């Protein structure tokens, strides 16, 4: 299992803090998910329900993602890779990508190999949720996106990546420089975003 | 991730197919073979789960099931 460095910004001091990207979601990460992420997600949902009238699913999924099941379902599957972002002894983000099943859709790179991000999530305390206390770390999503781009380059895909976004995350992917291709009726009508090789280089240079 | 090397014995036609794919996909031979292996394993895993494997024509929406012989 390989480990690379990344930097996050502390939400309290704005200082840069060193983090590690692990090329796996292992027992330790799944334990963090079960004992820390899941309770924090449930607490955030309860806070939101008290403070926000109406439907809150556009802000935060009603039920926490089941990372144990997701990680278990890809064991030994060559097309799938998992990553976790560790900082100060805690899992701060997780991601699962597919490097074989999806092709690029933008006209300039149509049908070319691309890394598809199946799942990406920051720990609940790192997310911008109304009524949430200050985020513990900023930059978790960008660090994981950077890892997906790096994998794409290492595979010879020149940085091309694609994903379907939940509504609450669309602005984040736009801020990463990805191109919005519209809602996809074949994937829960979620909006599909894609990054070109040039956009990937731009993202890395920032 | 550690990597291992193996010798692959291919016919001329098979090597030409690999080289054509390298050109079309702008990928190295290693990358092409790795993608082929990933796809092959994905198809096997999905079939074992009971999924069907088919191609769909984007414009006509015609679906043609790929019959996998076991």
Which residues, numbered 36 to 95 in chain A, qualify as contacts with chain B under a Cβ-Cβ cut-off of 8 Å?
A: 77-79
B1 in contact with A, Cβ within 8 Å: yes
- CA-based nearest residue to B35, from B45, B22, B50: B22
Confidence of residue A126 (pLDDT cuts 50, 70, 90): very high
Residues of A in contact with B37 (CB under 8 A): 78
- Whether B31 sits inside 8 A of A77 (CB atoms) is no
What ipTM is given for this predicted complex? 0.83
Answer yes or no: are the C-beta atoms of A79 and A154 closer than 8 Å. no
* Chain A residue whose CA is closest to B43: A101
Helix (H, G, I), strand (E, B) or coil at A31: helix
- Which of A61-75, A91-105, A125-139 is modeled with the greatest confidence? A91-105
Residue of B nearest to A155 (CA): B31
Could you tell me whether strands A190-195 and B54-56 are parallel, antiparallel, or unpaired per DSSP bridges? unpaired
- The stretches of chain A forming alpha helices (DSSP H) are 27-32, 38-51, 67-73, 140-154, 170-175, 197-205
Confidence grade of residue A46 (pLDDT, cut at 50, 70, 90): confident
pLDDT digits (tens, 9 = 90+) for A71-100: 999 999 999 999 999 999 999 999 999 999
Q: Which residues contact A35 (CB under 8 A, 6 or more apart)?
A: none
Q: Across all residues in chain A, what is the average pLDDT?
A: 92
């Amino acid at each position: 299992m390989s480990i690379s460095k990344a930097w996050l910004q502390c939400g309290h001091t704005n200082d840069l803090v060193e983090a590690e990207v692990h090329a796996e979601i292992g027992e330790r990460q799944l334990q963090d998910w079960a004992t820390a992420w899941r309770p924090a997600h449930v607490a955030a949902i309860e806070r939101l329900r008290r403070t926000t009238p109406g439907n809150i699913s556009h802000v935060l999924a009603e039920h926490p993602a089941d990372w144990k099941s997701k990680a278990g379902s890809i064991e030994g599957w060559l097309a799938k890779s998992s990553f976790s972002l560790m900082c100060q002894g805690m899992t701060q983000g997780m991601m699962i990508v597919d490097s074989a099943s999806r092709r690029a859709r933008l006209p300039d790179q149509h049908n070319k190999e691309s890394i598809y991000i199946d799942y990406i999530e920051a720990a609940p305390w790192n997310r911008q949720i109304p009524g949430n206390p200050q985020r513990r770390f900023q930059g978790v999503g960008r660090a994981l996106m950077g890892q997906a781009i790096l994998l794409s380059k290492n595979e010879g895909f020149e940085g091309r990546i694609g994903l379907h976004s939940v509504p609450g995350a669309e602005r984040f992917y736009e801020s990463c420089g990805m191109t919005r291709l519209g809602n996809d009726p074949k994937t829960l009508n979620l909006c599909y975003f894609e990054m070109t090789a040039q956009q990937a280089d731009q993202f890395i240079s920032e | 991730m550690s990597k291992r090397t193996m010798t692959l014995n291919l016919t001329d036609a098979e090597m030409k197919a690999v080289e054509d794919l390298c050109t079309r996909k702008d990928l190295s031979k290693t990358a092409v073979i790795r993608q082929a292996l990933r796809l092959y394993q994905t198809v096997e895993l999905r079939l074992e789960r009971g999924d069907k494997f088919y191609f769909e024509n984007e414009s006509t929406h015609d679906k043609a099931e790929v019959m996998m012989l076991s």
